Amino acid sequence: MPRPITATIDLQNLSSNLKHVRERISPDTELMAVVKANAYGHRLELVYPALGEADSIALLDLAEAGLLRVMGWFRSILLLEGAFEFSDYAAIANLKLDFTLHNDEQFLQLKRFLSMSPPLQDSRVFVKINTGMNRLGYTPERGVAVMLELMTLRHQEFIGPVVLMTHFANSDVIPPQGPTAAEQATVLKQMAVDIRQKASDVGLKSCDFTTSLANSAGALYHESDAGNIQRIGIAAYGSSTSAVTAQQEGLKPVMRLTTRLISIQKLQKGECIGYGSRFLADKPMRIGIAACGYADGYPRHAPDGTPVLVNGVRAHIAGRVSMDMITIDLTGVPEAEVGSEVVLFGDEHLGVDEVATACGTIGYELLCAVAPRVRFGVAEN
Amino acid sequence: MPRPITATIDLQNLSSNLKHVRERISPDTELMAVVKANAYGHRLELVYPALGEADSIALLDLAEAGLLRVMGWFRSILLLEGAFEFSDYAAIANLKLDFTLHNDEQFLQLKRFLSMSPPLQDSRVFVKINTGMNRLGYTPERGVAVMLELMTLRHQEFIGPVVLMTHFANSDVIPPQGPTAAEQATVLKQMAVDIRQKASDVGLKSCDFTTSLANSAGALYHESDAGNIQRIGIAAYGSSTSAVTAQQEGLKPVMRLTTRLISIQKLQKGECIGYGSRFLADKPMRIGIAACGYADGYPRHAPDGTPVLVNGVRAHIAGRVSMDMITIDLTGVPEAEVGSEVVLFGDEHLGVDEVATACGTIGYELLCAVAPRVRFGVAEN
């Protein structure tokens, strides 16, 4: 058999999380499920059956968009970073994808494509504005001009509806520096006013567009600034989006990562464990060796004390994570033996966020990192 | 096209690294190339053509062993952690694999298998001894008894040759606590004496076995304690095994991870970048956004200042790594533009170890973490 490390995907919990978000947002809002990075590491083909609650889907890779069409998703799909090169527009047309414009290189390629190909009336165009994240997107000033050009292209039926989009840098935290979600939203709102004013000034016949601002934390905690289309990623997978824990928010874990003990060592006081002999036994103790290492995606940063569950009982990592194994202090679990189940995260008693916090990172990273050599399966509910 | 992040595997460098190790070790030593974790993230099917210098191969997964047999590897393959369950012995027989015994659960299953199946004469048995790593392996005391039982099974032609094996905890460092490689080797040498003495005491007709101690650092820096079979992992992939850098050692990078700039932002003094607004511009600056994030396996821990090469020029990360992007201070690279190449690691001017050190980890983790969504290719030499 393969190594006994397994990720089990709970589709009922994924569906429940999407319904939970749906109940929290305005009824007329479009709920866009974000499934980039292979559904945040959950495997797109596995989670697909649970995405029915979403109005639309967002991702990065054309191949993943193609997979969704093959699996039968006929509602909207947004390419969050748009085209990476000119030839992508042919695929966008073929797969009827929505796409983002975040810089003028992309816009020039779009105009070149529209000049020589049938129109992209089935594609919505999301214009990404940099309102303080300083990652992707137009400046507000340039964004207004781009929006006006797109309004014209829309009026001429070259493209589908236009969406004014931005991304929050700090919807999950109150930062010591940098803009708040409300400040970023204010920039976008002012832009919307400017766009309509300028459209009127130059005599544009129509100037209809919607907005998309919120990610998960934005949708849950900045409702008035969330916009018409809300992009729900991490909340769908049941991980926390903010200081509010997933459990407090009513979100349920979707991925449960488990393995088994493959050996047990008895240490004497003064003996050490693993590479660099980081952990030193201060008393006689039993150590469980579990088949899970950093090559499975488990964080090598995990310090002594990082929690796991052994046979359902809370225990802690002792010694450095190696490529294929972790070592666990079994002091509180005397009945543990070779073959005992070890939960690494994704249990109601051990959320991915708690493990991530212990390792100085966020749940997103642990979920995305689960490696191909880990067996995946769907939970039987 | 897919996102422009690409891992390019240099087979000449892999082959060169194996030859380099070959020249450093005793001529009669068996060089065992370790390709677990999908060849430390390099993709087993890609690196396979460069493994010819190795006498044998070691890995963990039966599926990877099967793949090697299909690709035409007819020399020895060792399952480093042995059987995970009873049924694995049938696959071991079928694929003619060497295997490890590290605990009595495995040994009982082996004896059960031998009692009901044809013998495993084509399989070498590696008896793993815990000499201070405290991860897998028998105590020296129990190990002597197991070795004597195996000597008998060997004499009766139930199994192939027997190897006494251990693993160094600290061959790469001088630890503040815990055993040195020399101390661990001493334990194994004493065991070998004890085994031969006891074999003689009980009148065993033959007592032939070899030893396997060294990993890469052991082979390169603890030659007298390395044993007959040396397990070469990280050195093959051109990453450092110790305080001696890969370049100083004469090892060449095998994986080169590159991407491209997909956007450029101009910041004013006082503006911030990315999630949590971690980086604050203290002057007007250009920021390059590269298509590489933690969902590609790049470490989210990377602090401001982590090096990259943009158009061959050294530049540094500014702002938090996000799921799909990093942000780079382009102050020293004024000619950089959308489409410029970004080397993340694996260049002669930017080794994986330097990036790993900047991120508080080791090259092994970065190599293993490169995600399935990254395109892989083989370098044209």
In a domain, B152, yes or no: yes
Q: Are residues A260 and A230 in the same domain?
A: no
Smallest CA-to-CA distance from B281 within B230, B329, B336 is with B329
Residue B72 phi/psi, 5-degree rounding, is: 110, 15
Question: Contact A225/A171 with Cβ under 8 angstroms?
Answer: no
Q: Which of A41, A135, A368 shows the shortest C-beta gap to B327?
A: A135
pLDDT at B196 over 90: yes
- Spatial distance between the Cα atoms of B65 and B79, rounded to a whole number of angstroms: 8
pLDDT of residue B137: 97
How many domains does the structure of chain B reveal?
Answer: 2
Under DSSP, is residue B92 helix (H, G, I), strand (E, B) or coil? helix
- Spatial distance between the Cα atoms of B230 and A74, rounded to a whole number of angstroms: 56
- How does residue B355 score in pLDDT terms, banded at 50, 70 and 90? very high
User: Distances in Å between the alpha carbon of A156 and those of A82, A160, A165, A210?
Assistant: 22, 10, 22, 18
A283 is catalytic: no
Between chains, do A338 and B132 touch, taking CB under 8 Å as contact?
no
Residue where a domain stops, chosen among B210, B241, B272:
B241
- Would you state the structure tokens that stand for residue A164, as one six-digit string? 């004014």
Q: Are residues A226 and A278 in the same domain?
A: no
Q: Are residues A196 and A282 in the same domain?
A: no
Between chains, do B360 and A271 touch, taking CB under 8 Å as contact?
no
Q: Are residues B271 and B295 in the same domain?
A: yes
Q: Are residues A56 and A160 in the same domain?
A: yes
pLDDT of residue A344: 98
Mean pLDDT of chain B: 96
Smallest CA-to-CA distance from B274 within A173, A364, A168 is with A168
Radius of gyration, CA atoms only, chain A? 24
Under DSSP, is residue A289 helix (H, G, I), strand (E, B) or coil? strand
Is B261 in the A-facing interface, judged by CB distances under 8 Å?
Answer: no
Q: Which residues of B are catalytic?
A: 36, 275
Smallest CA-to-CA distance from B314 within B270, B358, B272 is with B358
Please, which contacts does B114-117 make with residues 24 or more away whose CB atoms are closer than 8 Å?
B114/B153, B114/B158, B114/B159, B117/B89, B117/B90, B117/B93
pLDDT of residue A174: 74
pLDDT of residue B381: 80
Q: Are residues B266 and B231 in the same domain?
A: no
Between chains, do A175 and B277 touch, taking CB under 8 Å as contact?
yes
Distance from the Cα of residue A379 to its chain's centroid: 21
Lowest mean pLDDT among A160-174, B45-59, B167-181, B340-354: B167-181
- Spatial distance between the Cα atoms of B329 and A338, rounded to a whole number of angstroms: 50
Q: Could you report the per-residue pLDDT of A267-325, keeping only the tens digit for each?
A: 999 999 999 899 999 999 999 999 999 999 999 999 999 999 999 999 999 999 999 99
Instruction: Provide DSSP, B162-198.
Output: EEEEE--SSSSS--SSS--HHHHHHHHHHHHHHHHHH
pLDDT of residue A18: 98
- Would you state the structure tokens that stand for residue B36, as one six-digit string? 């677990």
In a domain, A2, yes or no: no
Q: Are residues A221 and A295 in the same domain?
A: no
CATH label of the domain that carries residue A266: 2.40.37.10
Reading chain A (381 residues) residue by residue, the pLDDT tens digits are 779 999 999 999 999 999 999 999 999 999 999 999 999 999 999 999 999 999 999 999 999 999 999 999 999 999 999 999 999 999 999 999 999 999 999 999 999 999 999 999 999 999 999 999 999 999 999 999 999 999 999 999 999 999 999 999 988 877 778 899 999 999 999 999 999 999 999 999 889 999 999 999 999 999 889 999 999 999 999 998 888 899 999 999 999 999 999 999 999 999 999 998 999 999 999 999 999 999 999 999 999 999 999 999 999 999 999 999 999 999 999 999 999 999 999 999 999 999 999 999 999 999 999 999 999 999 998
Smallest CA-to-CA distance from B329 within B304, B351, B312 is with B304
Q: Which of A276, A280, A361 shows the shortest C-beta gap to B173?
A: A276
User: Distances in Å between the alpha carbon of A297 and those of A5, A357, A371, B367?
Assistant: 11, 16, 5, 12
A319 Cβ contact partners less than 8 Å away, ≥ 6 residues apart: A272, A273, A274, A275, A278, A279, A287, A304, A326, A327, B134, B135
pLDDT at B339 over 80: yes
Among B38, B102, B269, B272, the residue to mutate for chain A (most A Cβ within 10 A): B272
pLDDT at B176 over 80: no
Residue where a domain stops, chosen among B187, B208, B241:
B241
Is A85 in the B-facing interface, judged by CB distances under 8 Å?
Answer: yes
In a domain, A178, yes or no: yes
pLDDT at B195 over 80: yes
In a domain, B235, yes or no: yes
Q: Which helix (H) or strand (E) holds A324?
A: none
Q: Which helix (H) or strand (E) holds A166?
A: strand A162-166
Q: Could you report the per-residue pLDDT of B261-291, keeping only the tens digit for each?
A: 999 999 999 999 999 899 999 999 999 999 9
Residue where a domain stops, chosen among A187, A214, A241:
A241
Range 170-199 of B in CB contact (< 8 A) with A: 170, 172-173, 175-179
Q: Are residues A232 and A305 in the same domain?
A: no
- Tokens 């160094």 sit at which residue? B168
pLDDT of residue B243: 81
- Kindly state the average pLDDT of the residues B85-107: 97
* A169 contacts on B by Cβ (under 8 Å): 272, 274-277
- Spatial distance between the Cα atoms of A59 and A232, rounded to a whole number of angstroms: 11
Range 352-371 of A in CB contact (< 8 A) with B: 360-362, 364-365, 368-369, 371
- Would you state the structure tokens that stand for residue B141, as one six-digit string? 């005391």
Provide ipTM, 2 decimals: 0.95
Question: Contact B325/B260 with Cβ under 8 angstroms?
Answer: no
Between chains, do A325 and B135 touch, taking CB under 8 Å as contact?
yes
Smallest CA-to-CA distance from A199 within A125, A159, A160, A146 is with A146
- Would you state the structure tokens that stand for residue A329, as one six-digit string? 């202090």
Question: Contact A266/A364 with Cβ under 8 angstroms?
Answer: no
Q: Are residues A51 and A21 in the same domain?
A: yes
Q: Are residues B342 and B231 in the same domain?
A: no
DSSP designation for B235: G
Smallest CA-to-CA distance from B338 within B276, B259, B241 is with B259
Q: Could you report the per-residue pLDDT of B314-332, keeping only the tens digit for each?
A: 999 999 999 999 999 999 9
pLDDT of residue A232: 97
Q: Are residues A160 and A39 in the same domain?
A: yes
A36 is catalytic: yes
CATH label of the domain that carries residue B114: 3.20.20.10
pLDDT of residue B2: 79
- Kindly state the average pLDDT of the residues B206-214: 95
pLDDT of residue B38: 96
In a domain, A330, yes or no: yes
Residue type, A72: G
pLDDT at B293 over 90: yes
- Tokens 């990254």 sit at which residue? B374
Alpha helices in chain B (DSSP H): 11-24, 36-40, 44-47, 62-71, 88-95, 104-116, 140-155, 181-201, 216-221, 246-249, 352-358, 363-369
Is A276 in the B-facing interface, judged by CB distances under 8 Å?
Answer: yes
Q: Give B110→chain A minimum CA distance, Å.
A: 15
In a domain, A262, yes or no: yes
Q: Are residues B215 and B344 in the same domain?
A: no
Under DSSP, is residue A317 helix (H, G, I), strand (E, B) or coil? strand
In a domain, B247, yes or no: no
- Spatial distance between the Cα atoms of B18 and B21, rounded to a whole number of angstroms: 5
The parent domain of residue B19 ranges over 11-241
In a domain, A247, yes or no: no
